[in-house]
Amino acid sequence: MTVFLDEIQENIPKPAQVEKVQLEGSKIVIYAKKPEHFSTHPEIIKGIVDKYKKRVDIRADTSVLTDPEKAKKSITDIVPKEAEITEIVFMSEVSRVIIEAKKPGLVIGKAGATLREIKKAIKWSPRVERTPVIPSKIIKTVRHVLYTNGEDRSKFLATLGRKVRPKSISPEENGHDKWVRITSLGGFREVGRSAVFVQTSESKILMDCGVNVAAHGSNAFPYLNAPEFDLKTLDAIVVTHAHLDHSGFIPYLFKYGYDGPVYCTPATRDLMTLLQLDYVDIAQREGKKIPFSKKEIQEVIKHTITLDYEEVTDITQDCRLTLYPAGHILGSSMAHVHIGDGLHNIIYTGDIKFENTNLLEGASTKFPRLETLIVESTYGGKNDNQPPRQDGENTLIKVVEDTMARGGKVLIPVLAVGRAQEVMIVLERYARESKKDFKIYLDGMIWDATAIHTAYPEYLSRRLRQQIFHEDKNPFMSGVFNRVGGKKEREELIVRDEPCVILATSGMLAGGPSVEYLRRLAESKKNSIVFVSYQAEGSLGKRIQKGFKQVTLENAKGQNEIVNIKMPVNTIDGFSGHSDRRSLMNFVGRLNPKPDRVLVDHGDNMKCLDLASSLHKAYSIDTYAPKNLETVRLR
């Protein structure tokens, strides 16, 4: 190992004064006393990249870095004021300076010119992070964990770098039997606790590791006790998106000894931290035992390696990962795993939305290569077709207009991440275009989740980006939105005689402020409730949606109370973050290249079977809907 790094160090010409060569994940980092030597001799880096097939980063040796106080001053002198720098953090272990700013583009400059100027002046390698325009406690926490654990993190990245170095295959090994198999550890023929275990002759990867928040006991968690699975030999975790049914059980892996990497997009890292922390809080409040704590959530942050869409990275000796947009929620991705030298290629969709929405562009369909597709089927049943989104938007606006005209309040129970922001954009546009003066209240985690959306505008739909970057009209910053900060404000809002819209978690009325609003608003015909997302069988939301006129709810004193549902109940389809049946079929039909085999997951039993058989009939490809705990050999 060291031989390889020593070799690089020895071959670099003396004038560069190289002090050390290190691995940082899949990257080679060269620390030199004269880093500028590399800019005048670009052939040195090119030679290393060609030989070792890795990205190379040049940094200044600690001994030549400008004193942080002086460096800070240089940065603020070089960067235009309009960039609105909010924080400058020096990480001497890696010779880096992090510059947080509200307008990162102005810190970067034209084609990186300002960054280069900074580096030349102070020798520190600058990295820019966007300061969200709505302050986010979670992003602060995540960044703080990363900044204050610089040394641990660089050790972790160096160890990882040694493991992911592609193995050179000796002639004897060439004829060796190479294979690929996947084992379904959770989320097959069901929704919840998604976990797909990929094994090759060289490595073991876990894609997603979720919990089923609606299930009890061990049914809530993936089958990590499967004989196939051993935490000690797991090489990497990939997270498609932040929802708990995909990310909720990752902290558990760290509690029981996993200390490897977690790959996901930056937005997924922050949103999953938000949801995992909330999961622990709710469990504590409800006296439910879950097998990990906030300490392990911090470990997840420390071990997360973020990738942007279409950034190709070696994650094990024989696997290369690329994330593609999935169109489902902010930062959601499909995982493309390229195994061996063209041995096999897998796409695991996680949750997808094929069409564009107000919030996001739809899922990608073009990949370099593809043999096996693992596709979700939440709405994969024959009759699971949703009306066009425009119809849904029109109905929503009609309900809002009618309810407010009679002086009532509209309650919309939503998931904090995804549906909430989709509905917010529709309502904000309506408020702006109709010039109607009304208020939208956000209760529960929606505000925090929205704040994270403002840190990653580049992940939003083309239309939103246009609005945010070129028209300077960030819809999330609109004055129409108001935060409900706690119990007292909630109480005031409920009793105040003010027509308005209330978005509150949880989406299925399974706990959270939406239940309190329901209890207090349901008995007046003036108000309305609108369901915009999936209601699971057995949930309170589903019962009300089905037309139950009476429900029993716990009041503030902890006593059971019968509540009569007198307010009109509306269900609006078309806001879903999932593809419906028609669009799942289109998605597979549109894939380029076509897969040889499709495995169906993430749907109720019948939906998985139905989609698998319809895909087979329509496209004459091999399809299969495995049960949990099945292993399929792909190659």
Q: Of 245 and 516, which CB lies nearer to Zn ion in the complex structure?
A: 245
Beta carbon of residue 574, minimum distance to Zn ion (angstroms, whole number): 17
**Interface with Zn ion, residue 193, by CB under 5 A:** no
Stretch near Zn ion under the rule CB under 5 A, chosen from 244-252, 337-345, 516-524, 547-555: 244-252
Is the Cβ of residue 351 or residue 448 nearer to Zn ion in the bound state?
351
Structure tokens at 189: 């023929």
- Comparison of 187 and 595: residue with beta carbon closer to Zn ion: 187
Read off the tokens for 148. Answer: 């204050």
Closest CB to Zn ion among 163 and 246? 246
Q: How far is the CB of 360 from Zn ion (least distance, A)?
A: 13
Contact status, residue 44 vs residue 24, Cβ threshold 8 Å: no
Instruction: Tell me whether residue 331 or residue 595 sits nearer to Zn ion (CB atom).
Output: 331
Cβ at position 534, least distance to Zn ion in Å: 10
Which two three-digit tokens encode residue 233?
């030999």
Closest separation between CB of residue 274 and Zn ion, Å? Answer: 14
How far is the C-alpha of 134 from the C-alpha of 57, rounded, in Å? 33
Which one, 193 or 490, has the nearer CB to Zn ion?
193
Q: For residues 377 and 603, is the Cβ–Cβ distance under 8 A?
A: yes
User: Which range of residues in 61-69, 236-244, 257-265, 352-360 is near Zn ion by CB under 5 A?
Assistant: 236-244
Q: Is 283 helix (H, G, I), strand (E, B) or coil?
A: helix
Q: Are 595 and 334 in contact (CB under 8 A)?
A: no
> Which C-beta is closer to Zn ion: that of 154 or that of 576?
576
Least distance between Zn ion and beta carbon 191 (Å): 6
Tokens of 333: 């991705």
Instruction: Give the nearest distance from C-beta 246 to Zn ion in angstroms.
Output: 6
Q: Is 245 in the site for Zn ion (CB under 5 A)?
A: yes
Least distance (Å) between residue 459 CB and Zn ion: 15
CA distance 199 to 481: 47
Contact between 212 and 602 (Cβ < 8 Å): no
Query: Applying CB under 5 A, which part among 54-62, 136-144, 344-352, 525-533 lies near Zn ion?
Result: 344-352
192 vs 408, beta carbon nearer Zn ion: 192
Transcribe 466-508 into DSSP letters.
IIIIIS---GGG-TTEEE--SHHHHHHHHHS---EEEEES-TT
The stretch among 64-72, 251-259, 339-347, 349-357 that binds Zn ion (CB under 5 A) is 349-357
Q: Which stretch binds Zn ion (CB under 5 A): 115-123, 347-355, 498-506, 524-532?
A: 347-355
Identify which of 404, 576, 584 has the alpha carbon closest to the alpha carbon of residue 501.
404
- Residue 553 contacts by C-beta under 8 Å, 6 or more apart in sequence? 515, 518, 519, 560, 561, 563
Q: Which is nearer to Zn ion, 245 or 428 (CB)?
A: 245
Residue 380 C-beta: closest distance to Zn ion, Å: 13
Q: How many CA atoms lie within 13 A of 117 on its CB side?
A: 16
The stretch among 90-98, 346-354, 511-519, 579-587 that binds Zn ion (CB under 5 A) is 346-354
Mapped onto helix, strand or coil, the DSSP state of residue 210 is coil
Number of residues forming the site for Zn ion (CB under 5 A): 3
Member of 351, 422, 448, 580 binding Zn ion (CB under 5 A): 351
Closest distance to Zn ion from the beta carbon of 351 (Å): 4
Q: Please, are residues 88 and 99 in contact by the beta-carbon 8 Å criterion? A: yes
In the complex, what is the shortest distance from the CB of residue 304 to Zn ion, in angstroms, rounded to a whole number?
18
Contact assessment for residue 98 and residue 150, using Cβ atoms and an 8 Å cutoff: no
x-or-dash pattern for Zn ion, window 274-313, by CB under 5 A?
----------------------------------------
Residues 272 and 264: beta-carbon distance below 8 Å: yes
Residue (184 or 528) nearer to Zn ion, CB: 184
The stretch near Zn ion (CB under 5 A) out of 243-251, 300-308, 506-514, 613-621 is 243-251
Residue 351 or 443: the one with the smaller Cβ distance to Zn ion is 351
Distance in Å, CB of 120 to Zn ion, minimum? 45
Which residue is listed with tokens 């002759």?
201
**Binding residues for Zn ion restricted to 544-583, rule: CB under 5 A:** none
208 binds Zn ion (CB under 5 A): no
When asked if residue 153 is in the footprint of Zn ion (CB under 5 A), the reply is no
CB atoms within 10 A of CB 627: 11
Say if residues 612 and 585 touch (Cβ distance below 8 Å).
Answer: no
**CA–CA gap between residue 267 and residue 241 (Å, rounded):** 9
The verdict on 243 binding Zn ion (CB under 5 A) reads yes
3-class SS at 226?
A: coil
Choose the stretch contacting Zn ion; rule: CB under 5 A; options: 217-225, 235-243, 392-400, 492-500. 235-243
For 12, phi and psi rounded to 5 degrees?
-80, 130
| Nearest residue (beta carbon) to Zn ion | 243
- The interface region with Zn ion, picked from 241-249, 265-273, 334-342, 615-623 by CB under 5 A, is 241-249
List strands edge to edge, sheet with 528-531.
481-483, 440-443, 500-504, 409-413, 528-531, 569-571
Task: List helix spans (H) across 180-289.
Answer: 244-247, 250-255, 266-285
Q: Which of 187, 184, 338 is nearest to 248 (CA)?
A: 187
Query: Contact residues for Zn ion (CB under 5 A)?
Result: 243, 245, 351
